[in-house]
Chain A
Amino acid sequence: MTYFKDDQEVYQYLGQLFLDLLADEELAPKFRAANTIVQYCYHNPESQITVKLMAAQEGQVDLGPTRLEPEVVMTMDADTAHRFWLGKVNVTVALARGQIKAKGPVAKILRLVPLTKPVFPRYKAQLQAAGRGDLAEV
């Protein structure tokens, strides 16, 4: 059993979270300071979110196919991503166990990890608001 039944659900929930983050006046500049393009390749269900985080430019989130050329590629089960945004995944452990695979200048993304803490309750609230409180129970 996976949390998301298809790629559309991944985009509806995780995708929406990225869109919200990059629209947030306080958080967006901090994430854009990473100066990179990161692609999250999810399995189960197969899906892909590509995020442009460039300091001097508008953020961009592509759900599914993209023309952006990622510098960092993070590969994981969609469930792992979901649990991460609920604050249930230790990234260094997940990398060491191979639950998250990272390619490219990973430090650019790891530096964002401490910034994600305030996002956890936001993701939970977003799921509840969408009537998917069931997904918030992991």
Chain B
Amino acid sequence: MTGFADERQMAGFKDFYQFSAPTRVIAGRDLLASAGFEFAKEGARRVLLVSDAVIRATGLVDRVAEGVTDGGLELAAIFDAVPQDSDGAVVAQIAALARETGADSFLALGGGSVMDSAKVANLLFTHGGSAREWEGYYGLPRADDGAGRALELAPLACIPTTAGTGSEVSFAAVIKDREAHVKYQIGDFALIPRLAILDPAATLTLPPALAASTGMDAMTHAIEGYVSRDWNAHADAYALHALALIHANLERAVHSPADESARGNMLIAASLAIVPTTSGALGIAHSLSHPCGALYDVPHGVANAINLPGTIEYNAAGGDDIAARYRDLAELLGLESAGEVGQTLADHIRGLVVSLGLPTRLSQVGVTEAGIPALVEGAMGDACTLVNPRVPTAEDLAELYRRAL
């Protein structure tokens, strides 16, 4: 086992890795009506449905609520007030509502914020405390004095309405601390939802701009997952197929919102692409993007779309072993890379971002040169920096921000 530093292993048989993808996934058409039938198999009896006002306005909440009761489950209550960024107060409110209404399970219908809210509300519902007290990784209660099996939370099912975060199968939740202006993470295996229902009917009302930005988040997960120092063979299988699906479907899913097959395949791609992160596989595109969100409210997917190309160029120049991994991806995308593979791949992604109609520069989304030191501060301290294949200095990150301005 290695220390941190420059000892990385980008190919071959690893000394150690850990992989987990336990969520039961059902994917296909006309699944919203069977939400209750499917969730019953996970032990749900009386369901708290968690969503937001935008989703409610599309009529999706009512359809899913009907699906819950049609399946013989009781609907304890509907909470439809999750904000754009989930926070500690809202998850406490959801947990309290679950207790008051005698719910025994949670069904999240929405994007990343809704799903993360349901995850953390479930945590508070099961184990008590406040969200901030649970900040950290792998800190949830376990049997046998903390050494045994992670204690189960109440059943949680997710129906994503964006094809991006992959929270419906992931081990983490992001919560905003509104007073401290930071987003913090809670990550542990027990947070992984038991059931994910992937039905394009849930994303048909998603506007093209959101389909584009969340899709670029998924693409960033696939690429960073594959070229992380915490890559592993199991996770590679997920990352590579996710990228193939994104390549084949993202543009269509954005430009033809009614294309059910493209939208459905993007849902599947997003839930495949997030899986490597449960092994810790990500990188500095995410480190660069997190503070853009925290300090400038740049949507996560938009920030990734801007930061990913520069990250690839920077990492690929860090060694032949890293470039070899990017070469796999370039080949999968059918790119001719006679020259520098990092450049080829980065240019391809820049072209894609333009075709999706997303901003390509940080200056277009409100970031200024004067803000770079604070951004670098955040990015250096981001956990994703530790698993990036190349070890960046603060000056490296500053240069990446400057070039992306």
A92 CB contacts on chain B under 8 angstroms: 230, 280, 383, 386-387
Once the chains are docked, how many angstroms separate the CA of A52 from the CA of B386? Answer: 23
A130 interface contact, C-beta 8 A: no
Contact between chains at A102 and B136 (CB < 8 Å)? yes
Residue A113 contacts which of B2, B4, B16, B136 (CB distance < 8 angstroms)? B4
Taking CB atoms and an 8 Å cut-off, the chain A residues in 88-127 that contact chain B are 88-93, 95-98, 101-108, 110-111, 113-114, 116-117, 120
Docked-complex contact A116 and B4, CB < 8 angstroms = yes
Q: A87-B3, A95-B137, A104-B136 are in contact. Are A110 and B279 (CB under 8 A)?
A: no
Residue of B nearest to A101 (CB): B139
Shortest Cβ distance from B145 into A: residue: A43
* B1 part of interface (Cβ distance < 8 Å): yes
Contact A117 B4, CB 8 Å, known A92-B386, A96-B280, A103-B135: yes
Q: Mark B65-76, 1 if CB is under 8 A from A, else 0.
A: 000000000000
Question: Are A90 and B4 CB-contacts (below 8 A) given A107-B383, A110-B381?
Answer: yes
Which chain B residues border A117 with CB–CB below 8 Å?
Answer: 3-5
What residue of chain A has the Cβ atom nearest to residue B379's Cβ?
Answer: A111
Query: Could you tell me if A91 and B4 are in contact, using CB atoms closer than 8 angstroms?
Result: yes
We find that the number of chain B residues with CB closer than 8 angstroms to chain A is 29
How many pairs of A and B residues are in contact by the CB < 8 Å rule? 79
- B391: CB under 8 A from chain A? yes
- Given A96-B18, A103-B136, A104-B135, are A114 and B1 neighbors across the interface (CB < 8 Å)? no
Contacts of B139 in A (CB 8 A): 101-103
Residues 5-45 of A, flagged 1 when their CB comes within 8 A of B and 0 if not, give 00000000000000000000000000000000000000000
B396 to chain A, nearest CB (A): 12
CB proximity to A under 8 Å, residues B1-54: 1-5, 16-18
B405 proximal to A (CB < 8 A): no
Note all chain A residues with C-beta closer than 8 A to B230.
Answer: 92-93
Q: Mark B183-203, 1 if CB is under 8 A from A, else 0.
A: 010000000000000000000
B146 at the interface (CB under 8 A from A): yes
Shortest beta-carbon distance from B12 to chain A in Å? 16
By a CB distance below 8 angstroms, the chain A residues around B265 are none
Taking CB atoms, residues of chain B closer than 8 Å to A106 are 135-137, 383
Please tell me if the beta carbons of B138 and A105 are within 8 angstroms of each other in the complex.
no
Q: Tell me whether A98 and B147 are in contact (CB under 8 A).
A: yes
Flag if B135 contacts A105 (CB, 8 Å): yes
Complex partner residue of B385 from A97, A98, A111, CB under 8 angstroms? A111
Cα distance, A108 to B382, chains bound together (Å): 8
- Nearest to B134 among chain A residues (CB) is A103
Tell me the complex Cα distance, A101–B211, Å. 37
- Taking A92-B230, A101-B139, A102-B137 as contacts, is the C-beta distance between A111 and B381 under 8 angstroms? yes
Q: Is the CB of A90 within 8 A of B2?
A: yes
CA distance A7 to B126 in the complex (A): 36
CB distance from B148 to the nearest CB of A (A): 10
* Smallest beta-carbon distance A82→chain B, Å: 13
Minimal Cβ-Cβ distance residue in B for A120: B3
- Taking CB atoms and an 8 Å cut-off, the chain B residues in 122-148 that contact chain A are 135-139, 142, 146-147
Give complex CA distance A105, B382 in Å: 11
Residues in A with CB closer than 8 Å to B137 are 95-96, 102, 106
Q: Is the CB of B138 within 8 A of A96?
A: yes
Cβ of A107 to closest chain B Cβ, rounded Å:
5
Picked from A95, A103, A107, A114, the residue with its CB within 8 Å of the CB of B4 is A114
A101: min CB distance to chain B, Å: 6
**Given contacts A107-B383, A108-B381, are A89 and B135 in contact (CB under 8 A)?**
no
Provide the residues of chain B in CB contact with A104, threshold 8 Å. Answer: 135-136
What's the Cα separation between A74 and B339 when bound, in Å?
A: 46
Any A CB within 8 A of the CB of B380:
yes
Closest-by-CB residue of B relative to A108 is: B381
Write out the residue numbers on chain A whose beta carbons fall within 8 Å of the beta carbon of B17. Answer: 93
- Chain A residues with CB under 8 Å of B18's CB are 93, 96-97
> A93 — which chain B residues lie within 8 A by C-beta?
1, 16-18, 230, 280
Contact status A114-B136, CB under 8 Å: no
Cβ-defined contact, A113 with B147, below 8 A: no
Contact assessment for B136 and A91 in the assembled complex, using a CB-CB cutoff below 8 Å: no
What's the nearest-Cβ distance from chain B to residue A54, in Å? 15
Q: Which residue of chain A has the shortest Cβ distance to B393 in the bound complex?
A: A114
**Residues in B neighbouring A98, C-beta threshold 8 A:** 138, 142, 146-147
Distance of A116 Cα from B137 Cα, bound (Å): 21
Distance in Å: Cβ of A70 to nearest Cβ of chain B: 13
Q: List residues of A whose CB falls within 8 A of some B CB.
A: 87-93, 95-98, 101-108, 110-111, 113-114, 116-117, 120
Interface residues of B (CB under 8 A from A): 1-5, 16-18, 135-139, 142, 146-147, 182, 184, 230, 279-280, 380-383, 385-387, 391
- The 4 closest A-B CB pairs, nearest first, are A111-B381, A87-B3, A102-B136, A117-B5
Contacts A/B (CB < 8 Å), 10 sampled: A87-B3, A91-B4, A93-B18, A95-B137, A95-B138, A101-B146, A102-B137, A105-B184, A107-B383, A113-B386
